[in-house]
Amino acid sequence: MAEISTIARPYAQAIFDLAKEKNQLNEWSATVGLLAKIVEDEQVKAIIQDTKVDVSDKEKFILDICKGKITNEGENFIKLLIENKRLLVLPFISDSFEELKANEEGTVAATIVVATKISQNETDGIIKNLEKKLNKKIEATVKIDESILGGSVITVGDTVIDASVKGQLESLAFKMKA
């Protein structure tokens, strides 16, 4: 996995630099995200990996899928990736690009796991508190996991805030064993 991210990072940085220079971060984010979804499709992946399919046919195939959805620069990016046999690295390039974009915009991704569905006001309150604590804009995803019983588990980067009932019970059990 480290090898793939090492391969992806220079491509992501190059796209990021281009996008930043042209003030097109959101446009490139959409382009790279679209391309990543395309190459993750099992049928597309099979064609990309098929050694019997000529490189020019692969290029035409991918460009036909993207027709009208990406710019000429996006098409050139696809051609570069095909030429360097890096098309299947696109999901990792997309992830790296999004990290660079988030850092530039001062945003961080957060995952909020709750036991039951919470209201938008509750979600907004959690996000507001996180933004105040971290002094960054938070892009949050809310997930439901009934196994935590209650409360929440919030993950921001490498930081995990476990305020779940399950987490508290496990902590209590650990303390009682000691």
Can you tell me the mean pLDDT for 112-123?
93
Q: How confident is the model at residue 72 (pLDDT cuts 50, 70, 90)?
A: very high
Percentage, residues of the chain above pLDDT 70: 98
pLDDT at residue 102 greater than cutoff 80: yes
Residue bearing tokens 């002094």: 135
- pLDDT at res. 2: 56
pLDDT at residue 1 greater than cutoff 60: no
Say how far apart CA 15 and CA 28 lie, in whole Å.
Answer: 8
Can you tell me the mean pLDDT for 73-96?
93
- Sheet with 137-144, strands from edge to edge, namely 137-144, 107-114, 152-156, 159-162
Q: Could you say which architecture CATH assigns to the domain 107-177?
A: 3-Layer(aba) Sandwich (3.40)
C-alpha angle 146/150/153, rounded to 5°? Answer: 85
Can you tell me the mean pLDDT for 10-33?
95
Domain 2-102 classification at class level: mainly alpha
User: Facing residues of 99 across strands?
Assistant: none
Question: What residue spans define the domains of the chain?
Answer: 2-102, 107-177
Q: Compute CA 90 distance to the chain's CA centroid, rounded to the nearest angstrom.
A: 11
